[in-house]
Chains A and B, each alone.
Chain A
């Protein structure tokens, strides 16, 4: 379907598309198999200027918004959700600085993030703080001109690969939700180390590790925004980033659909290509319908978010739930269409199905997203 992109938006799609077809797709199976971080591909993405898509021109970026990022991520998601996640996680790590950081902080980090020479990561989750962020135990205490951090962050995407980390720590336990603050930690900071790389079901080419802070001392000015504003920045960040996860579902669903249709046209059983059987046709039709509906919703949500600084939550959560549940279903169906071949690692769809699952989990489980939508409805209908 034609979404009437502007000429520049079309260019973003073309650039991302070419990287996906020429760099990501040929390597994705090997990267997945070896659980290897896609360093070279991310360099290619950097050379193509895409790391700067969402960063204002004054900091060396392109000056686009949520929708532009979504267009690029759709292509990357079509190629490999692991690579796309590494890219998206860097944006997620940079958003807090972009949204709440001081001018000096922006000047210090954003130009390097825009050029791709610096990757970022976002660290909220802990062993006892998943969907319930109030369980956060990492603390930051001001000691003279330095903050001293202690605690452990868990399952942090890009950990060990990124150079800067936007982390959430408790600065005043007594203030509850107002007691959390965000900080920038650099990978060379003393007292900062990583846990071992996690073994995952899917998105195996992305890096996931713990961040360990043991009396990690960072300069005072690494505080992002004001003290106690941590959760507000987190919420704004996630509202802005969720359409990026949603669109990975769309790209992934599209890829699964492409593989399924191509295969169904080639595969002959009972003397006919299996696409001529209605049982298969209906599956493919449902896949196509769901992918397109998801795309339309995510695009609309991304445009809404780009245009409205407030009231982003509902749109953001809706599209994340819809498109990622869709991706799980469509990739599962793709494996079914390819059947025995689909189950084999020789073909790409089993990886797609493994990769799809995380989309329903990370950046807020789909259950939490439904809570958000529900709460928003409750507010709207008062």
Chain B
């Protein structure tokens, strides 16, 4: 409950202005809270006379946190390829483990895993817990969740990280629920508060308009999913030493109530641009359909979707569902790269709220540069292939 100290309150109204939920109002010179309060705490922070306070019962800790030690990452892979986010997790995991002076482990689940475990070691893991079982050939929430949960229970890492990918964001929440611990989704920043070894997890909220730092004070492990393309991976070091431990799950833990009948890989053209976090868009500047292929390649390298201006769609280089703008779709990705798009207002209204906008255009006066965060004036036929190449290099390095 939000407590209001009526002796301290000066009725300044700061809390009322602050509250997003219209839950607090100043009546007769004193703040009053109503049912709409969600205990978000923003009014407490803004109060200059410390008249507001959120009462929270001291909780029993789950157990002695001393048992829990180490950093553990879930090593995602699909179609025989380790997901780029896995290397990024190993990069940040390594840093957190070093700060805590503990070990970094990785959990690798699947079937026919070949040398993937040693690759994880080369990218920073000290230990790899590996389960190679045909029951894990397809990703299912049940089996992956059960096995991952069991490994975490057994080895007790204090921090568990997974990629905020379709897979990670699907099965990690049930693991956290099963372990009766907190989970912070889609983190963009992770750090250790050294005094109490707490993991500070920072993530965007309200569609990226607000950032929040979250901690998990009462239970272990501290779990987070991490947004891809944010953390840096370490360079591969073939000489690194580490241990690969095979883990044998109980057979009943490999059962799944969901059956994967088929996995279909789709090219970037099929991905709905309104769901995409990264969009590479092309316009008139691409000259023809062949030019548009450059856009697809860059999108592929970035793991993004393909967008287009009306000019490109009208020229039939790409079908209408890819059109961004007033007569197309409105998109709000984390990253929008506009190549050869001049930036007619009708296009801009469809993409201007993207977090980061990169514009590549040969005309320095093109209006697209007015909304760009970052602009390159140049020949896109030179810039785009080079960018694609560099991004691919970075991924495989």
| A and B in direct contact, judged by CB atoms within 8 A | yes
Question: Interface on A for B, CB 8 Å cutoff?
Answer: 29-30, 346-347
Q: How distant is A263 from chain B, measured CB to nearest CB, in Å? A: 10
Does A346 lie within 8 Å of B320, measured CB to CB? no
A347 CA to B325 CA, complexed, in Å: 12
Question: Interface on B for A, CB 8 Å cutoff?
Answer: 310, 320, 326-327, 344, 346
A-B contact pairs, 9 of them (CB 8 A): A29-B327, A30-B320, A30-B327, A346-B310, A346-B326, A346-B327, A346-B344, A346-B346, A347-B346
By a CB distance below 8 angstroms, the chain A residues around B320 are 30
By a CB distance below 8 angstroms, the chain B residues around A347 are 346
Q: How distant is A344 from chain B, measured CB to nearest CB, in Å? A: 9
A347 CA to B346 CA, complexed, in Å: 8
A29 CA to B344 CA, complexed, in Å: 17
Best-surrounded residue of A29, A30, A346, A347 (most CB of chain B within 10 A): A346
Q: How distant is B320 from chain A, measured CB to nearest CB, in Å? A: 7
CB nearest neighbor in A for B314: A33
Further 6 A-B residue pairs, CB within 8 A, beyond A29-B327, A30-B327, A346-B310: A30-B320, A346-B326, A346-B327, A346-B344, A346-B346, A347-B346
By a CB distance below 8 angstroms, the chain B residues around A30 are 320, 327
CB nearest neighbor in B for A34: B320
By a CB distance below 8 angstroms, the chain A residues around B310 are 346
By a CB distance below 8 angstroms, the chain B residues around A29 are 327
A30 CA to B327 CA, complexed, in Å: 7
By a CB distance below 8 angstroms, the chain A residues around B327 are 29-30, 346
A29 CA to B325 CA, complexed, in Å: 12
A30 CA to B325 CA, complexed, in Å: 13
Q: How distant is A26 from chain B, measured CB to nearest CB, in Å? A: 8
A29 CA to B320 CA, complexed, in Å: 12
CB nearest neighbor in A for B347: A346
Q: How distant is B322 from chain A, measured CB to nearest CB, in Å? A: 13
By a CB distance below 8 angstroms, the chain A residues around B346 are 346-347
A29 CA to B350 CA, complexed, in Å: 15
By a CB distance below 8 angstroms, the chain A residues around B326 are 346
A29 CA to B313 CA, complexed, in Å: 14
Closest 4 CB pairs of A and B: A29-B327, A346-B346, A30-B327, A346-B344
A347 CA to B344 CA, complexed, in Å: 11
By a CB distance below 8 angstroms, the chain A residues around B344 are 346
CB nearest neighbor in B for A266: B345
A29 CA to B310 CA, complexed, in Å: 12
A347 CA to B327 CA, complexed, in Å: 9
CB nearest neighbor in B for A347: B346
A29 CA to B327 CA, complexed, in Å: 7
CB nearest neighbor in A for B327: A29
Best-surrounded residue of B320, B327, B346 (most CB of chain A within 10 A): B327
CB nearest neighbor in B for A30: B327
A129 CA to B165 CA, complexed, in Å: 66
A354 CA to B346 CA, complexed, in Å: 21
A17 CA to B396 CA, complexed, in Å: 52
Q: How distant is B135 from chain A, measured CB to nearest CB, in Å? A: 43
A53 CA to B344 CA, complexed, in Å: 41
A30 CA to B310 CA, complexed, in Å: 11
A30 CA to B319 CA, complexed, in Å: 13
A259 CA to B82 CA, complexed, in Å: 51
CB nearest neighbor in B for A29: B327
Q: How distant is A22 from chain B, measured CB to nearest CB, in Å? A: 13
A346 CA to B327 CA, complexed, in Å: 8
By a CB distance below 8 angstroms, the chain B residues around A346 are 310, 326-327, 344, 346
Q: How distant is B234 from chain A, measured CB to nearest CB, in Å? A: 46
CB nearest neighbor in A for B330: A26
A346 CA to B346 CA, complexed, in Å: 7
Q: How distant is B150 from chain A, measured CB to nearest CB, in Å? A: 47
Q: How distant is B20 from chain A, measured CB to nearest CB, in Å? A: 25
Q: How distant is B329 from chain A, measured CB to nearest CB, in Å? A: 9
A346 CA to B349 CA, complexed, in Å: 12
